[in-house]
Structure 1
Amino acid sequence: MAAGAGQAPVVTNGIHTAGQPVELSIGLPHNLGTRIHLHLTILATSIIVFLSSATLDGAQAGAAMSSFIYAIPDRYNPSQPLTTSLYTQPSSQDFSARLAKVLVRRTGKLCYVGGSMNLANAVGGGTVDEEMEAFRAIVAVVAAEVTKARNAEE
């Protein structure tokens, strides 16, 4: 995904091959010192996403495992995917569940979302705006990678 107006560049480590994980790093335009790291595996019928975050100062303490969510499309109501919490951490459960649902709607694949993302060290201390900025960036990058993987298969 190329960097557009107001978007920080996405750094990719690795090239997509079927079933192999790819590691991505997303810079947030309004939080220049905060990066979100994704470990993304795209399989034929599912996506596995692990998230973490880091700041430039590196003063972040070890982050605990956040929630691990499984989401599937609902064939009777495609606009409302079904989610199940496989591991719960109250501070991240809502974010992970929302992210899994959006990814299922965007890609049509089963989705697992987990990791240890923490925006508390961001410029605003993890405000709603910062969380939504990160959310949109993650969805855009994952959707673009899934599209690239689909096009490579064809």
Structure 2
Amino acid sequence: MDAGTAAAAAPPPTTTALSNSAPAKQQQQQKPLQISFPLPRAPNARVNLHLTVHSKSLLLFVTTTSPEHDSGVTAPVGSFVYAMPNLANPTAQPLSTPLYPQTPTLDLATRLAKILARRTGRPTYVGNSTSFASAGAGGNVEEEMEGLARVVEVVVEEVKKADQAAAAAGV
């Protein structure tokens, strides 16, 4: 199955907006979104996103869950990475720095932060505690890349929706 077929066959992600009880600030406060969707090759395993789209930045936390691996087990804290687009040369690689590095999740967090910074043109904070061990082939490179591509697709779509809503509201 190629990436185009996998993306077309993927079910739509589940999205929930969380209310923010903090007092309103001068700048419009964005509500975090909880988004969940199945891994491309393992429908019983899910990718869970907690996304906050600010006008000038993104904050994303990514984790995976599966019934057979997560029964009563807390997920370890993963890496937290900051990436910013290169505004002087938009085609250049975004700059990134790990703020909280954890070796098993650092590479994917860095890739995700850089891709999102480039695609959205915003500084991006990414927390990543994903594990693809419950995927069909045990989390090989292809499965990780399919999961990464799906996360990027969903996040970029949500950023576009937030930008359109802000433009319609005149923010």
RMSD after superposition: 2.0
Task: State the percentage of identical aligned residues.
Answer: 40
Partner of 1:31: 42
1:7 CA displacement: 1.1
Partner of 2:24: none
Partner of 2:60: 49
Partner of 2:148: 135
What CA distance in whole angstroms lies between the structure 2 residues aligned with 1:106 and 1:5? Answer: 21
Aligned: 1:153 with 2:156: no
1:124 CA displacement: 1.3
The equivalent position to 1:89 in structure 2, one of 82, 102, 123, is 102
Counterpart AA for 1:52: T
What CA distance in whole angstroms lies between the structure 1 residues aligned with 2:147 and 2:100? Answer: 22
The equivalent position to 2:86 in structure 1, one of 74, 77, 80, is 74
What CA distance in whole angstroms lies between the structure 1 residues aligned with 2:128 and 2:83? Answer: 15
Q: 1:6 to 1:111 in 2, by over 3 A?
A: same
Larger of the two Rg values belongs to structure: 2
More displaced 10-residue stretch of structure 1: 10-19 or 92-101 = 10-19
Unpaired segments ≥5 residues, structure 2: 1-5, 20-27
What CA distance in whole angstroms lies between the structure 1 residues aligned with 2:90 and 2:74? Answer: 38
Q: How many residues align?
A: 152
Cα deviation digits, residues 55-106 of structure 1 (max 9, x gap) = 1335453221111000011123322110011000111111111100100111
Alignment check: 8 A CA contact 2:17 2:31 kept? no
Partner of 1:8: 11
Q: 1:4 to 1:65 in 2, by over 3 A?
A: closer
- Residue 5 of structure 1: SS of its match in structure 2? helix
Alignment check: 8 A CA contact 2:117 2:124 kept? yes
- Residue 8 of structure 2: SS of its match in structure 1? coil
What CA distance in whole angstroms lies between the structure 2 residues aligned with 1:68 and 1:50? Answer: 9
1:113 CA displacement: 0.3
Alignment check: 8 A CA contact 1:51 1:116 kept? yes
Task: Judging by fraction of residues, say which structure has more strand.
Answer: 1
1:34 CA displacement: 0.9
Partner of 1:104: 117
Counterpart AA for 1:150: D
| TM-score (normalizing by structure 1) | 0.90
Unpaired segments ≥5 residues, structure 1: none
